Amino acid sequence: MIKIYHNNRCSKSRCGLEILENSGKEFEIVKYLENTPSEEELIEIINLLNISPIQLVRKNEQIWKDNFKGKELSDSEVIKAMVDNPKLIERPIVINGNKAVIGRPPETIKEII
């Protein structure tokens, strides 16, 4: 089943959700700010995206700027920062089987559905 990691306050995430709704396919919405992925789940997502953990971080968030910017962090420290501060996780993330994309721009979601 298709899964979207969604934040309703984000316009790109809302656009991504609309693409899924219009696809006619079944999907699950994960409100990741309320239901934060575990470290294991984030590692799985990062592996599906085929990126490094730092590429999943929203570096313009104030939390990042205040606490992490300019520091040398290991991959596990970056993942822990996202688990502790889910606002740092880039959005939307859409997973379909063994494929995943960050929906920026939202049209990239169409590639995996």
Residue 32: give its domain's CATH number: 3.40.30.10
Residues 80-90: what's their mean pLDDT? 98
* pLDDT bracket for residue 98 (50, 70, 90): very high
Number of domains in the chain: 1
Q: By residue range, what is the domain housing residue 54?
A: 2-112
10 catalytic residue (yes or no): yes
- State the Cα–Cα distance between residues 100 and 53, nearest whole angstrom: 14
List pLDDT tens digits, range 51-76.
999 999 999 999 999 999 999 999 99
Q: What is the pLDDT of residue 85?
A: 98
Task: Name the active-site residue from 1, 3, 5, 10.
Answer: 10
Give the global pTM.
0.95
> Would you tell me the crossing angle of helices 39-49 and 75-84 to the nearest 10 degrees?
120
